[in-house]
Amino acid sequence: MSDSTTDNGKTVGIIAYLTLIGWIIAFVMHNNNKTEFGAFHIRQMLGIIIVGFALYILNIVLALAIGSAILGWVIQIAMFVYWLLGFIGALQGEMKPVPILGEQFQQWFKGIG
């Protein structure tokens, strides 16, 4: 693998963690020059986005049902930690899955790559 391919993969990996717009940009960039590193981080962030959205919906339902949004704070902190771990991994050039669901993200979204 050439240095420019490696650099492109790392760039894609980093950009994937910069909001949903960044993920879309990274996905398009990856389709133009596919790397395993870029695909790994695109799959990780897609999983983080989907789990975060599902937990957000769950939090709304629970907040309406029990009248407390404390779970929302826990969810936000957990999702921030997941995002931070993935982002740091991309910055360091590592393909290290996020805890608990990272391996599943790789399996569930294996078509991306």
Residue 113 within any structural domain of the chain = no
At residue 1, the pLDDT reads 44
Residue 23 within any structural domain of the chain = yes
Side-chain half-sphere exposure of 111, counting CA atoms within 13 A: 1
Enumerate helices (H) and strands (E) in the chain, giving the number of each: 5, 0
Residue 113 burial (CB < 10 Å; 0-12/13-18/19+)?
Answer: middle
Residue 34 within any structural domain of the chain = yes
Its domain, for residue 49, covers 3-108
pLDDT in tens, 58-102: 888 888 888 777 777 888 899 999 999 999 999 999 999 999 999
Rounded to two decimals, the pTM is 0.86
Total count of domains within the chain: 1
In this model, does residue 36 exceed pLDDT 70? yes
The whole-number average pLDDT for the span 33-45 is 94
